[in-house]
Amino acid sequence: MNIINFSAETNQGPFLNINEDGYDFSFESDLYMIFDGFGGNGVGDKAVAELKKNIAQFYQNFVQDRNATLPFFYSPKYLLEGNALVNSAIYSHHELYKKNLETDVSKRGGASAILAAKSESIISLLNVGNCRAYLVRRGKIISIFSEDSFRFLTHDKYESHLKNVPLAGFGLFPDLQYQIREVRVAKGDKLLLLSDGVYGRLDDEELQSGIDRESLNIKIKIHELFDLANNRGNLDNQTCMIFEF
């Protein structure tokens, strides 16, 4: 299944002076990533930069040698790409966690993230922390993960943007807590990856409506989602990645 249209954008948002969010992708490796960093100016953004580099390098080694031994994790439940995502994430987490242990607590950084790897019509996705992934199919929006945040503690929607604090993340704890899913995409599907600076002020129906408008350029769709969230009072960094199949 080919990607027909693709776009990714990140923005510091209307309030912050530094963007700790980020994204990266490689059409050659079919690897796509978004990040929501934390730790502050010169900390969270550096953690994201390190994670980008380590994850991409580890995964690229797998792409170049598909017979390479996976050192940390293997499950027959998942494609090799899914297993490679898990191993890339665990390796990169350990590297960041070790660096954090050598650093004063006030200067430790980390990140939430979604990593995606494409293999023909199957997308393997790995989620850490409070980013979100959606599949939009035939006018319906489907949440792929339940983000690991304080939203688990309540089911009400009142000021839900205040409950998006991640309970897991790269670099935080000795063991990396993650979720992994495999999604088979079909012609006409759209895949949406978001940091909480976008989804935190919007409901699923608004996201679906914004992303499913065929008349709009894909970059304009992203900008309109950013603007809508900002008009609702967003103060956070924002990152969005859209795939159209």
99 SS3 class: helix
User: How confident is the model at residue 162, as a pLDDT?
Assistant: 54
Can you read off the two tokens belonging to residue 208?
């679906």
User: How confident is the model at residue 68, as a pLDDT?
Assistant: 75
Which pTM value belongs to this model? Answer: 0.92
Can you read off the two tokens belonging to residue 172?
């935080």
Residues in the chain: 245
Domain that holds residue 37: 5-244
**CB-based burial of residue 119 (10 Å sphere; 0-12 exposed, 13-18 middle, 19+ buried)?**
middle
**CA neighbor of 101 nearest in space, from 189, 171, 201, 9:** 171
User: How confident is the model at residue 155, as a pLDDT?
Assistant: 55
State the sign of the Cα–Cα–Cα–Cα dihedral 96, 99, 101, 103.
negative
Q: What is the CATH number of the domain that holds 211?
A: 3.60.40.10
Q: Which residue, chain included where needed, has tokens 């242990």?
A: 101
Backbone angles phi, psi at 33, to 5 degrees: -145, 140
**CA neighbor of 222 nearest in space, from 10, 62, 38:** 10
Can you read off the two tokens belonging to residue 234?
């967003």
Average pLDDT across each block of 10 residues of the chain; the chain has 245 residues. List them in order. Answer: 96 94 97 96 95 97 79 92 96 97 92 97 97 95 85 57 75 95 97 96 92 86 96 96 97
Backbone angles phi, psi at 9, to 5 degrees: -140, 145
If one counts the domains in the chain, the total is 1
**CA neighbor of 226 nearest in space, from 205, 196, 204:** 196
